[in-house]
Structure 1
């Protein structure tokens, strides 16, 4: 989804598309951090 959104922004220069891209990027980063926290709970590093 990020690649598609970035491609659309690159082609159009539409600021709303860029803002959507940044929002999706933050959400993806947040999910990755949540997944890491869950993995640490399941398999604690000692």
Structure 2
């Protein structure tokens, strides 16, 4: 879900999508912020 949300945000710049990403990050407390940032960086590279 994070991947999809990030792709939508990176394509649209939607504030609502960004807020959804932040909510998903909160729910996935076991995933570090750095891990998520690295995943987003890898997605942007594709």
TM tier relative to shorter chain: 0.5 to 0.7
Misfit runs of 4+, over 4 Å: none
- Please identify the structure whose Cα radius of gyration is greater: 1
- Tell me which protein shows more helix as a share of its residues: 1
Q: Give the match for residue 18 of structure 1.
A: 18
TM-score, normalized by length of structure 2?
Answer: 0.61
- Number of equivalenced pairs: 31
What do residues 1-42 of structure 1 show as CA deviations (whole Å, max 9, x unaligned)?
A: 00110110000000000000110011011xx3xxxxxxxxxx
TM-score, normalized by length of structure 1?
Answer: 0.61
RMSD, matched Cα? 1.6
Specify every segment of 5 or more residues in structure 2 that has no aligned partner in the other structure, as ranges: 31-46
